[in-house]
Amino acid sequence: MSTTNPIAELKRLGQSVWLDQIDREMIQSGRLARYRDAGVSGVTANPTIFARALESSDAYAEHVIRRLDRGQDPESIVWDLLIEDVQAAADVMRPVFDREHGGDGFVSIEVSPEIAGDTERTIAAARDLQRRTARPNVMVKIPATPAGLPAIQARIAEGANINVTLIFAVERYVKVVEAYLAGLEQLRESGGDPRRVHSVASFFVSRIDTKVDALLERKPQLKHLLGRAGIANSKLAYEMFTQLHSGARWDRLRAEGASVQRCLWASTSTKNPRYRDVMYVEELIGPATVDTMPPATFEAFSDHGRVQLTLQKDVEGARRVLDELAISGVDLAAVTQELEDEGVAAFAKSFRESIQNLPKVKVSGR
């Protein structure tokens, strides 16, 4: 029987595994520490995940009731609880951060999705979250919306660690890297230290297939393309990553200690039961990347994941998949724009619902 640890093998090949989950029970029970010891080197979450935790976990109830009883408003309670969770998770991940000399061990917290269209408010909110979390291994998430891009650049220029989220299109990703590089250049010009800045660019993978497959189901002659768009799109993004982190401009930044902005593969759980449950992990393995997995995907990959360098294999085949989709009338640009709009709206809805539902939180026996 093989004793190979798939999670350790990913690390050996240059890919970090982050957990796409955060809640108070997980932290307090020691479960997050056990994930860390099993190879998880970071944590991400989003408003939907946190709203679900608030609704389903008893760990928040006493804290909520106590705050409501003293007249604190629900929105500030939600932020207080989330910041407390992020601080506690960052403390759990701090040994990884220290061992990796600041290159890993991050926990992400997202600015309010309700301000995704407002650059200045996003910058202010990102600064505030960095200040309130007060941990060196916290990354603030800023969405890659048109209004988010200048906010990303501004915060990188101020020396912050930023997780750029809700990326779907390769064309938008190019602008994300530009914001990162320009921010690093501004930081350098102002006398800051690029060595202290780390960033990831979070590509959402399976959601693309969910949307594209729905279009392909109407075209039986294209069934061979089912479940292939998300991975193909990600492979071309990684090809762009290698191009954008090379050449004279990047060499100057690298010479001063700048780190690459790693691609992070998000939405890696398989939504379609017809597909292999670890498909999105297995097909996107490559150096200088992060794969963020929900607990179920982490457990499945730990159990039966196959590990080999796949991210740079058959990039031409990936290009042909996207070309064939385009020829067949699937407008990937329209699909990715829809996904961005829906992603912002869904996160904003979850955030608002978590505030509205807060007074309904029940305490056992009360």
Catalytic residue list: 141
Q: Are 318 and 236 in contact (CB under 8 A)?
A: yes
What spatial distance separates the first Cα and last Cα of the chain, rounded to whole Å?
52
3-class SS string, the chain: CCCCCHHHHHHHCCEEEEEECCCHHHHHCCHHHHHHHCCCCEEECCHHHHHHHHHHCHHHHHHHHHHHHCCCCHHHHHHHHHHHHHHHHHHHHHHHHHHCCCCCCEEEEECCHHHCCCHHHHHHHHHHHHHHHCCCCEEEEEECCCCHHHHHHHHHHCCCCEEEEEECCHHHHHHHHHHHHHHHHHHHHCCCCHHHCCEEEEEECHHHHHHHHHHHCCCHHHHHHCCCHHHHHHHHHHHHHHHHCCHHHHHHHHHCCCCCCEEEEECCCCCCCCCCCCHHHHCCCCCCEEEEECHHHHHHHHHHCCCCCCCCCCHHHHHHHHHHHHHCCCCHHHHHHHHHHHHHHHHHHHHHHHHHCHHHCCCCCC
Question: Using an 8 Å Cβ cutoff, are 291 and 18 in contact?
Answer: yes
* C-beta separation of 44 from 19 below 8 A: yes
Distance in angstroms (rounded) separating the CA atoms of residues 266 and 291: 7
